[in-house]
Amino acid sequence: MRRLVLTVSAFVLVAVVVVAAQPPLPPPAPGTLPLVPPKPAGPVPPAPPLAQPEFGAPPPARPVVPPAPADVPLSRFLQLADFPATTQDSVNAALRGATWMSRMHQPHGRFYYGYNPTLRQTMAGDHDLKQARTALAMAQSARFSGDKTQAAIASQTILVLLASTKAAAGDPNCRVPVQLSIACNRVAFAALVAMAIYEAPNATDTDTDDAERLCEFIRRQLRPDGSVHYTDGPTDVPTQIDPAGVNEYPGLALHALAVSNRARPAEWKKEAVKKGVMHYAELFRTKPHAMLAATVVPAATELYLQTKLNEMAVAAFEMSDWLCALQIPVTDPRVPQWVGGFRTVANGHSTDTPAGAAETGLFVQCLACAYQLNRFTPDLNRGRKYKSAVTASAQFLCALQFTEANTAHFENTFRASRLIGGFYLSPTDGNLRTDATACAVTGLLGYLSSGAEHY
């Protein structure tokens, strides 16, 4: 028994010696919380339940725009929450649309024609006029956001499209589109490519020279009465060969000349645009058409901003007032889901079916020009009408875009790579086409620079 007690005592003594030999623990670092927090003075409120994200849904987008250099228009919207809801939607929609167009760009410089989400495959077809329209929108977006990738994409596509032109016989200062107008209207093609060059933020003097040569081709299509001869044969009657073309191609030509005059002023350009606007304003009075207004009003506005010619403002207001009458108002109980859209006209009568994304984008651009013009010739009643109309139409246009919210039923990778950002053709057609998204982006960028984007 004595031996057992001695053994236990020896073990205890050894343990005490070992513990005493250990170095003291260092003091806690300043500001370090104790391992056991102090007991709260009052009752602890229950923790809020964690929000469960919808299955397959990506994280919500941050309500801010990406950083932008101070010298680009996007920098005005860095504090996006300070702007009206429609402006916030329009900024995000324009940026998403441009990103979608970038994804549709191919290595050889052309854009995919379109995409069918149901079949999950690209749409067959291609058209130089639609390629030029998309290049213009991409150049405008690059100028708006300062995105160098988008600027490079626009420049590459412009070079590819310029390869479809050639020097006129005996005149190196004029470039003529190669394709016949029956396949791709030459006047409209030259106008869109020229405007894309003028809008491109990285355009060189050589590029501008090419744009001027395209405008020289347009100059040769002008007639003494102010009309634009938009078919190939010198003795053709354009309205007989292509009756629908009169509502779109001449306006694009006049707009290109007006933009060209801003870049490189020339007296003949001002006179051509002035006579052209007056000619088609008179035609509009006898045969009004939404696309005629949508293409001529930007030309009239551009020339007015340069010259302050009152005739340009009068013509633009007349066409824009007529276009406003086609808009579906919030008080219409028949189609409340299409408020802000524009009724189409068939056989001289308006229908309840709204125009698609491509046409609506051009209508938004038209009304944005009219609102901007009214700021120089103030009319309070007209200003309120235009601001209400362009804001409602921009909101309608934003609703035609595929976003995270309305594509949750698609697989994540597929919708992120193919759908999000594209504007589908109409409220009843979910297919995507690059030129439709291009027109939508052009319209929204026009709205964001008109002054109507503010409260």
pLDDT digits (tens, 9 = 90+) for 71-91: 899 999 999 999 999 999 999
* Helices and strands (H and E) in the chain: how many: 15, 8
pLDDT digits (tens, 9 = 90+) for 395-424: 999 999 999 999 999 999 999 999 999 999
Q: What per-residue confidence (pLDDT) applies to 13?
A: 46
Q: What per-residue confidence (pLDDT) applies to 9?
A: 53
> Using 50, 70 and 90 to split pLDDT, how confident is the model at 46?
very low
How is residue 113 annotated by DSSP? -
Q: 390 in a domain, yes or no? A: yes
Q: 378 in a domain, yes or no? A: yes
CA atoms within 13 A on the CB side of 433: 18
- Type and span of the H or E element at 345: strand 343-346
Higher pLDDT among residues 101 and 352, named by residue: 101
Q: 382 in a domain, yes or no? A: yes
Residue 64 has pLDDT above 70, yes or no: no
Judge whether 143 and 137 are in contact, CB under 8 Å.
Answer: no
Indicate the pairing of strand 343-346 with strand 349-354. antiparallel
State the residue range of the domain holding 420: 92-124+325-455
pLDDT digits (tens, 9 = 90+) for 217-236: 999 999 999 999 999 999 99
Taking the CB of residue 164, how many other CB atoms lie within 10 A of it?
16
Q: 454 in a domain, yes or no? A: yes
pTM, entire model: 0.85
CA-to-CA distance for 70 and 394, rounded, in angstroms? 26
Name residues whose C-beta falls within 8 Å of residue 66's C-beta, 6 or more positions apart in sequence.
Answer: 74, 95, 145
Q: What per-residue confidence (pLDDT) applies to 349?
A: 74
Q: What per-residue confidence (pLDDT) applies to 325?
A: 95
CA-to-CA distance for 295 and 256, rounded, in angstroms? 11
Q: 116 in a domain, yes or no? A: yes
* Helix residue ranges per DSSP H, 52-84: none
Q: How many domains does the chain have?
A: 1
Q: Is the dihedral of CA 49, 55, 59, 61 positive or negative?
A: negative
Q: 140 in a domain, yes or no? A: no
Q: What per-residue confidence (pLDDT) applies to 4?
A: 46
Judge whether 199 and 136 are in contact, CB under 8 Å.
Answer: yes
Q: 28 in a domain, yes or no? A: no
Q: 166 in a domain, yes or no? A: no
